[in-house]
A = this chain, B = another copy of it.
């Protein structure tokens, strides 16, 4: 899918005379081909590489569902993709985005189980940030009637990853304790909510102080992200914790392993150190990602510890485990229907405001998930020069680099 999507972007790039703003008609070679708005990343780099253009609307292949997109999830991973700071980055130009919600508009052959008009959420291997998305039906899930589209777009990635890490990798049970970084983010909130579905689970979380009031009900012990969380946890629980969910990597892997109780599980689910203000160069950032210390299995044996890695996108798109994920989504929807979990949406942004949205996640300003609302018009109050889709100068790029990055953001899967 992703590959097809990327090819589409490449194929149609030449058809678009120039970057198309909302009001600008593109010239298309195929006479009756429909078009759509999409966020396009022209090349890896800063916010100025993003723009909204018109693109050829995809049509569903066999086994694919065509979705009229209402809302898209914005994840930390999208910032890393923008920078090209991922393993085997795809070719640019590309349409970013891995999750969306919307209404089924058309169906390819062999898409039993779905009907036009179905309200759905979906994973996409890139190409989510567009008015229309086609993705294989194995990545599409019907949503409850009372789940809003922004909620649905905030749901799939964070809650599926949190659920699988807590319950399938780490085997969370009654009375256990969990440490999660960036507890105020979309992922952190999904973790905290899922922990609350198990009796007597203690959640330790780090977050910027201004978020503490908003998230204090979901996190048992909140620490300022600038303090030494190892010491803070040990003050409260000298024995450590049962589960550490780490999105920071680097030296935090050793810290996290050190905090585990016997039989405890450390899960690395991403790194966000790479885009903090302290290290501006992509190369040094990428290097820090790889500088995590290797783990000696004999030490794990001596200490009765477990270390795991979790990447939902790899699981879905590289390792063909969509059937496992489907089961998890069903369980999560049951929990949603039982009002035990509810995605926390931080804010809605028009496609044209994607840069401001990215800046907000980069600056760690969000509490919960940032959503691109496809039908939303840019908010005049929030629109300044940099919200224009046509150009974003180097000044903004510098601004991003100099941002006072007080909080490490989660690498949300």
Contact = CB atoms under 8 A, between A and B. Distances in A.
A114 interface: no
B304 A298 contact: no
Nearest to A87: B302
Q: Main SS of chain A's interface residues?
A: mixed
A259 to B, nearest CB: 15
A27 interface: no
A239 to B, nearest CB: 9
Contacts of A399: none
Interface string A291-326: 010111111111111111111001100010100100
A169 interface: yes
Interface string A223-264: 000000000000000000000000001000100000000110
A336 to B, nearest CB: 23
B304 A307 contact: no
The oligomer's copy count stands at 2
Contact of A307 (B302, B307, B311): B307
B314 A309 contact: no
Among A262, A265, A289, A302, residue most surrounded by chain B Cβ atoms (within 10 Å): A262
Contacts of A311: 301-302, 304
A283 interface: no
Contact of A295 (B171, B270, B294): B294
A210 interface: no
Contact of A297 (B171, B268, B301, B302): B268
A321 B289 contact: no
B171 A168 contact: yes
A289 B302 CA distance: 13
Contact of A314 (B302, B308, B319): B302
Nearest to A319: B262
A308 B309 contact: no
A269 interface: yes
A300 B270 CA distance: 11
Given A168-B171, A171-B168, A321-B262, A268 B304 contact: no
A296 B304 CA distance: 18
B268 A300 contact: yes
A223 B65 CA distance: 45
Contacts of A308: 265, 300, 305-307
A270 to B, nearest CB: 7
Interface string A61-94: 0000000000000000000000000010000000
A298 B307 contact: no
B297 A295 contact: yes
A270 B300 CA distance: 11
A162 to B, nearest CB: 15
A263 B169 contact: yes
Contact of A268 (B253, B298, B309, B321): B298
Interface in A79-137: 87
B298 A289 contact: yes
A309 B263 CA distance: 9
A18 to B, nearest CB: 38
Contacts of A296: 292, 294-295
Q: Which 8 residue pairs across A and B have the least CB separation, nearest first?
A: A301-B309, A300-B309, A294-B294, A306-B308, A262-B319, A268-B297, A171-B171, A295-B295
21 contacts: A168-B263, A169-B306, A249-B297, A249-B298, A253-B297, A262-B315, A262-B321, A265-B308, A268-B297, A268-B298, A269-B301, A294-B294, A294-B297, A298-B309, A299-B309, A304-B310, A304-B314, A304-B319, A305-B309, A306-B307, A307-B307
